[in-house]
Each structure stands twice: as structure tokens, then as C-alpha cells.
Amino acid sequence: MFDTNNIFNTLLVIPILNVLIGVYKLLLTVGVPGALGFSLIIMTVLIRLLLSPLMSTQLKSTQKLQKLKPELDRLHAKHKDDKQRLQQEQLKLYQQAGINPAAGCLPLLIQMPILIAIYNLFFQLLNNTDLTKVVSEINKVVYLPILKINSLELSFFGFNLASKPADWQKLGWWLLAVPVITGLLQYWQTKLMVPATQKTDSKELITKDKDGKEKNEDMGTVMQKQMSIMMPLMIGFFAYSFPLGLSLYWNTFTVFGIIQQYKINKQLEAEENGQNKN
């Protein structure tokens, strides 16, 4: 289950598991009900705080690039037949705005393995029906004897963290609220990632098709609108199919992402207003 010969497990999954179990044991000791659920939340918050500087850099870079989108679209329309000139003008625009297009890539590359490790860990813990085996496998890889556990309590406020909304006919229709909430939170975060200037900018590139009708060629805007719908639906479907514990992790992560994005939007808006006043 937690193969120690796998370098990904050794470097990421198992260390995260040890922190999770450490928090779990601490909460059990002080008598907190639903210890595993709260451990998942605390673990997610700790990881989110750890990644916060990287994610902030990535989000700011993405936000600034999106604000340049109307200008980039105009350049593309103006120099669409001269790719070399288009690249030169784009680079000039980036330099004038003080933006490095690659600035958001490195933070993403660093944080993705950690996020994948957390997902894999929670999936293995919650998608295995043999809890005795799960406990045994955990005890094999904990770093200290004090971290060994005798059982794993999956109850959290009356919910079983291993239950899936897909089983709502057997467990209750209320489980369907989980993928709905998950999808709505994802939609909220996606909408926050669109700059206010882009939301209100009605200038789009319009051309005429063969029949003389207006045709919108702003494919980037079309794709962004589609993704703002498709991504929440996709995440909601995953939440429908996966254990509740994974939705708890994802929603906690998303809520902190919403808070962080909101703060970044306010910060960038204040900076833009300051520049306009000057």
C-alpha cells in the first residue's frame, strides 16, 4: 500500500502520512470527536499554508497575464500573418507590464507533486474497505512507535468519510449535496480568477464570416467561459464518485484558495488604482 521502494512514496506520501497520523493521535488523546476528519482539515490547512507563497506567486502572475489578454488579442489580430513580429510585440508588451510569462510555471511545478501526494494518500486511506489492512500498512511506515494506531475512526459528524455520494440510494439523498457544494465552490474560485477588468471589458474581436454575419474570434474568451463551467462540473462529478473524505480535503483546499484569490484580487486592484492616480 505504501511501497517504501517507491521514491515518490518515500519523499512525499509517507512523510505526509506521518504528519497526518501525528495530528490524528493528538486529537484522539484530547478526546476530539471525528479526529480523522479534523486531521484531514488540519493537514490540508498546513499544506496550503506551506504552499501559500508559491501559490500566491502563481496566482498573481496568472492574474496579470489575464489582464493583458485584450492587448494580446489585438496584437494577434494585427500581426496574425507575421509570427515573428507577433512574438516581438508580445515580448515588448510583457516587458512594459513587468511580467515574466514563465513566472507562474515554476511554483506550479513545485506544488503539483505535493498536491498529488496528498490526493494519493487520502485516496488510499479512504478507498480501501479493509480497515485492518489499512491500519497495519500505516503502522509499517510510521517513523516512531508512538505514532502506531490500533484503529482508524472514519466517522465525522455522523458521516462515514469512506462513503461515496454515488451510493446515495443506499445511504441517503443528502449525500448528493456534497458534489453540488464541491462544484459551486470550484465555480466560485474559477470566477474569482477572472480579472474584474476582463469581466467588464466588452471589446471583442469581431469579423465577418462568408455570409456576412458577425463572428467572434476571441477563442481564448470562449475557452475560458467553457472551462469556468466544465471544470466545476468535472470536479463535482469526481466528488460524486469519490469518498467523502476526499471532498472534505478538496473543499478545504478550495475555500483557502478562494480566500487567497480574493486577497490577491484586492491587492492587485489597490496597486492598479495607485498607478492610475500617479
Q: Cα separation of 81 and 158, whole Å?
A: 62
More confident residue, 205 or 103: 103
Whether the predicted model's global pTM rises above the 0.85 cut: no
pLDDT value of position 207: 43
Kindly state the helix (H) or strand (E) to which residue 96 belongs, with its residue range. Answer: helix 83-97
- Half-sphere CA count of 27, side-chain side, radius 13 A: 21
Sequence-distant (≥ 6) Cβ neighbours of residue 259 within 8 angstroms:
none
pLDDT digit string, tens, across residues 73-102: 888 888 878 788 888 888 888 877 777 766
CA nearest neighbour of 252 among 181, 164, 173: 181
Q: Are 195 and 71 in contact (CB under 8 A)?
A: no
pLDDT digit string, tens, across residues 1-41: 888 888 999 999 999 999 999 999 999 999 999 999 999 99
pLDDT category, 129, cuts 50, 70, 90? confident
Indicate the domain borders of the chain. Answer: 7-270
Q: What percent of the chain has pLDDT over 70?
A: 82
**Where do we find the cell 475512526?**
153
Q: Are 248 and 40 in contact (CB under 8 A)?
A: yes
pLDDT digit string, tens, across residues 211-234: 444 444 455 556 667 777 888 899
Q: Are 178 and 239 in contact (CB under 8 A)?
A: yes
